[in-house]
């Protein structure tokens, strides 16, 4: 089959391609760095001609042109699988909404959609000699999404990394036979995610408490944020060896650990020698590292985040952030009150899977305090959540909790033991107040005061 000939037959302009979109359609914009650019610009020009257009996407790194259309809420909704800062700001504009998920289930959501998807448009790498366009560092749920899509439009970017799958775990690319139209973009560099600044002393203290729990040969999952990255930096400088990676998001910290010679994957029960991930986002260092790298395995999220898969890997270490935790051990990583901050993502998947792993541990890490808008310190260990706060991990699932004041294992503890443990790692200025709140909630033993 002459794939180059088929390529030319399907090649068109962005302006022509977006003419397929009609009022009432559901349009998928892909995921993270695969979000379209030229197609987005062309569709933004058409947006005022349309009505009731519904988009899906997530973790935007730049503001799409459709967001900039005056009175965009008159024409569209943006439905995000996982909010970035840009999407949080768009909530106030009346067209942006969160789609609550358990990330591991996302491919099935697409396969179970009653009406499927009308149009999908997203960035890909150049076509290879076998007719495949690689999804880059965004395999996630893309394969399942394409299965339910009536019209697939790819925007080729020569700078998109080619991220390798495996013979047994596929989902890293789409074949030209599944593509309806091809648009050649202007090949911009892949957008980088900011590092979020240098690790603070609090980050470093928390990281040290976690790293001392990690054995040689452990398999790592790091969430996004300063503390998980601080853990990664400390691991890169440690004496640990033969570490593995099986994660939802591939971040710069993994590159640092790899270049320090700490990752071999030789002890992994599955995907031995491979660093497995559902999507990646970071600096150019990361994109260069994962490009055509046989050590790295780009896989669908219903594989990477499947609790059964995670639990099959011995000594699995899951490290994630939280916004707040209450005295019962409930974790919120998504909101504070009605203020939306993030999505559920795969945190619960890894919390559950790590605990089921032989020798596995799940760590929820957070600073003990945060400054409010008034400049005053507020405890992030709270007696109860504010009205509207979303619970990401239920109290029964929380394992280790770590602040700069220590770490506690909540598994098997009664309510009064949990309250005592969590108060012990709260900021000292708030402990007396938390004890009083625990007494009111009937979860405190006075003899332990």
Type and span of the H or E element at 364: strand 361-365
Task: Identify the domain boundary among 155, 184, 213.
Answer: 184
Residue 189 lies in a domain: no
What's the pLDDT at 233? 86
Name the nearest CA neighbour of 61 among 231, 188, 163, 176: 188
Domain that holds residue 426: 201-448
Total tally of structural domains belonging to the chain: 2
What per-residue string of b and e applies to 194-222 under the rule 16 or more CB within 10 Å gives b? eeeeebeebbbbbbebbbeebeebbbbbb
Catalytic member of 38, 87, 172, 248: 248
Bridge partners, residue 245, by sequence: 220, 275
Question: Are 131 and 225 in a shared domain?
Answer: no
**Residue 167 to residue 127: CA distance in whole angstroms:** 19
Mean of pLDDT values over 105-117: 95
Tens of pLDDT along 197-207? 678 899 999 99
- Provide the pLDDT for residue 195: 57
Look at residue 78 and tell me whether its pLDDT is greater than 90: yes
Quote the pLDDT of residue 196.
58
Same domain, 242 and 167: no
What does the pLDDT read at residue 374? 87
pLDDT per position as a tens digit, 258-267: 999 999 999 9
d(CA 315, CA 24): 48
Same domain, 351 and 429: yes
Clarify whether residues 268 and 167 are in a common domain: no
319 in Cβ contact with 356 (< 8 Å) = no
Q: How far is CA 37 from CA 66, 84, 123, 365, 420, in A?
A: 11, 17, 8, 36, 52
SS3 content of the chain, % helix, strand, coil (to 5): 30, 25, 45
Q: Same structural domain for residues 137 and 16?
A: yes
Most confident range (mean pLDDT) of 225-229, 333-337, 434-438 is: 434-438
The pair of three-digit structure tokens given for residue 394, joined into one six-digit string? 């239920």
The CATH number of the domain where 441 resides is what? Answer: 3.40.1080.20
> What is the secondary structure of 273-300 as a DSSP string?
T-EEEEEE---HHHHHHHTT-TTEEE--
Q: Which of 326, 327, 308 is nearest to 316 (CA)?
A: 308
Tokens encoding 5: 């000939």
Q: Which two tokens stand for residue 313?
A: 């890997």
Over the stretch 26-66, which tens digit does the pLDDT of each residue have?
999 999 999 999 999 999 999 999 999 999 999 999 999 99
pLDDT tens digits for 253-304? 999 999 999 999 999 999 999 999 999 999 999 999 999 999 999 999 999 9
The pLDDT value given to residue 193: 85
Segment 135-147 mean pLDDT: 97
Whether residues 219 and 163 fall in one domain: no
The answer, yes or no, to whether residue 159 has pLDDT greater than 60, is yes
Contact assessment for residue 351 and residue 362, using Cβ atoms and an 8 Å cutoff: yes
* Cα–Cα distance measured from residue 8 to residue 182, given in angstroms and rounded to the nearest whole number: 9
Residue 5 contacts residue 29 (beta carbons within 8 Å) = no
C-alpha 125/C-alpha 292 separation (Å) is 12
- The answer to whether 15 is a known catalytic residue is no
Strand, coil or helix: what is 118?
strand
Indicate if 209 and 74 belong to the same structural domain.
no
Instruction: Report pTM.
Output: 0.95
* Percentage above 90 pLDDT, the chain: 89
Q: How confident is the model at residue 229 (pLDDT cuts 50, 70, 90)?
A: confident
Kind and range of the H or E element at 369? strand 369-371
Local confidence band at 393 (pLDDT 50, 70, 90 cut-offs): very high
Q: Are residues 401 and 439 in the same domain?
A: yes
Beta strands in 82-206 (DSSP E): 96-98, 117-124, 132-134, 149-156, 173-175, 181-184
Q: Is residue 191 a part of any domain in this protein? A: no
* 192 located within any domain: no
What is the sign of the dihedral through the CA atoms of 31, 32, 36 and 41?
positive
Whether residues 207 and 298 share a domain: the answer is: yes
CB atoms within 10 A of CB 414: 10
Q: Are 301 and 176 contained in the same domain?
A: no
Over residues 135-142, mean pLDDT = 98
Task: Please tell me the distance from the alpha carbon of residue 345 to that of residue 224, in angstroms, as a whole number.
Answer: 11
Structure tokens belonging to residue 117: 């998807």
On whether residue 193 sits in a domain, the answer given is no
Q: Domain end: 133, 153, 184, which one?
A: 184
**What is the CATH number for 135?**
3.40.1080.10
Question: Is residue 175 located within the same domain as residue 205?
Answer: no
Residue with tokens 């503001």: 63
Q: Are 47 and 21 in contact (CB under 8 A)?
A: no
Least confident piece of the model among 4-8, 31-35, 40-44, 342-346: 342-346
Q: Are residues 110 and 223 part of one domain? A: no
Last-in-domain residue among 157, 184, 211: 184
348 pLDDT band, cuts 50/70/90, is very high
Q: How many CB atoms lie within 10 A of CB 94?
A: 12
Q: Give the helix ranges, DSSP H, for 306-414.
A: 307-311, 347-356
- Tokens 């625990």, located at residue: 438
Contact 196, 176 (CB under 8 A): no
């Amino acid at each position: 089959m002459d794939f180059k000939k088929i390529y030319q037959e399907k090649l068109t302009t962005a302006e022509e391609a977006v003419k397929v979109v009609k009022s009432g359609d559901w349009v998928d914009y892909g995921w993270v760095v695969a979000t379209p650019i030229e197609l987005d610009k062309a569709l933004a020009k058409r947006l005022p001609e349309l009505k009731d257009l519904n988009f899906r996407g997530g973790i935007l790194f730049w503001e799409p042109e459709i967001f900039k259309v005056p009175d965009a809420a008159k024409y569209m909704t943006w439905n995000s699988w996982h909010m970035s800062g840009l999407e949080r700001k768009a909530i106030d504009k009346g067209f942006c909404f969160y789609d609550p998920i358990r990330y591991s289930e996302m491919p099935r959501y697409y396969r179970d959609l009653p009406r499927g998807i009308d149009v999908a448009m997203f960035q890909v790498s150049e076509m290879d000699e076998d007719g495949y366009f690689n999804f880059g560092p965004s395999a996630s749920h893309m394969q399942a999404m394409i299965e339910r899509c009536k019209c697939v439009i790819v925007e080729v970017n020569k700078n998109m990394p080619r991220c390798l799958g495996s013979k047994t775990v596929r989902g890293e690319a789409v074949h030209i036979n599944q593509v309806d139209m091809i648009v050649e973009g202007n090949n911009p560099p892949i957008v980088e995610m900011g590092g979020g600044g240098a690790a603070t002393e609090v980050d470093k203290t928390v990281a040290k408490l976690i790293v001392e729990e990690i054995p040689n040969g452990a398999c790592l999952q790091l969430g996004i944020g300063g503390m998980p990255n601080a853990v990664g930096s400390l691991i890169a400088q440690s004496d640990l060896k033969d570490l593995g990676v099986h994660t939802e998001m591939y971040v710069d910290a993994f590159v640092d650990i790899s270049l320090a010679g700490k990752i071999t994957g030789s002890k992994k029960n599955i995907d031995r020698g491979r660093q497995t991930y559902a999507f990646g986002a970071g600096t150019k260092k990361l994109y260069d590292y994962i490009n055509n790298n046989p050590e790295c395995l780009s896989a669908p999220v219903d594989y990477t985040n499947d609790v059964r898969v995670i639990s099959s890997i011995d000594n699995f270490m899951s490290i994630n952030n939280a916004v707040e935790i209450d005295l019962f051990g409930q974790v919120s990583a998504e909101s504070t009150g009605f203020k939306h901050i993030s999505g559920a993502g795969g945190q619960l998947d890894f919390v559950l899977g790590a605990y089921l792993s032989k020798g596995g541990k799940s760590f929820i890490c957070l600073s003990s305090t945060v400054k409010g808008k008034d400049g005053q310190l507020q405890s992030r260990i709270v007696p109860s959540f504010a009205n509207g706060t979303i619970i990401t991990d239920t109290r029964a699932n929380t394992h280790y909790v770590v602040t700069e004041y220590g770490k506690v294992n909540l598994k098997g503890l009664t309510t009064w033991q949990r309250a005592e443990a969590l108060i012990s790692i709260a900021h000292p200025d708030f402990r007396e107040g938390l004890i009083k709140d625990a007494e009111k909630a009937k979860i405190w033993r006075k003899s332990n005061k």
